[in-house]
Amino acid sequence: MTTLDPPSPARRLSAENRREQILEAASALFIEKGFEAVGMNDIARALQTSRPTVYGYFTSTEDMLRALLAGRLPAMWERLRPLLPASGEFHAGTFSALFLALLHERELLLLLHSGGGPIFREQRADFLRQLQEWTTPYRRAEARQPQTLHLITLLLEAAAVEAVRGQQSEAEVQAKGKTQARVLGQFIAGGMAGLSSEI
């Protein structure tokens, strides 16, 4: 009796699942090699499929990147939204909680920093604008120091990206992040309190 090989994953997957598989492979390659170093051939090779199969879903790596960010950024904001204090009063714990939550967004943060072209600059600027909107309780301080909110958001993002870089596991990132979050929160809150007292 002859045993048949199981059908290939390409035949078993629905179009939606195949599209998501391509996006997952693209994301992993963009993070590992840098967006500019990845071509459609690399993605096809990683999936052990043909280039025409990949082109059947996406016209370019830029198309894949846009799909990845469009699908994942809104979901991230929804996960972060509950961390914002209903009272509008930010304190050291708020910044610490936001920082720790950003560490859980490791893949997305690394993806946002996997290239330097126009798409990345635009998406990172949007990311920072959204973070800045969430720090609006400090608008009073911003009137005295126009760059304050921008610096806070840059600091939060830069600290989170630096914390998730490397080959550490998610558990290691979170364990180290707790100390970093406390220090970062105190640093930001202390600096903002100092600015507010001068106004």
pLDDT tens for 156-197 read: 788 888 888 865 777 777 778 888 887 877 777 666 555 455
**pLDDT recorded at residue 192:** 58
Q: Which residues, in sequence order, are CB contacts of 129 under 8 Å at separation 6+?
A: none
Residue of 68 and 152 predicted with greater confidence:
68
Chain centre distance of CA 168: 17
d(CA 199, CA 74): 36
Backbone angles phi, psi at 193, to 5 degrees: -60, -40
Residue in the structure block whose two tokens are 């939550």: 101
Q: Which of 137, 132, 182 is nearest to 159 (CA)?
A: 182
What are the boundaries of each domain within the chain?
A: 9-59, 70-198
pTM of the model: 0.76
For residue 178 the two structure tokens come to: 């707790």
21: how many CB neighbours lie within 10 A of its CB? 16
pLDDT tens for 111-155 read: 999 998 888 889 888 888 887 776 665 444 444 454 566 677 777
**pLDDT recorded at residue 175:** 79
Q: Which CATH superfamily is domain 9-59 in?
A: Homeodomain-like (1.10.10.60)
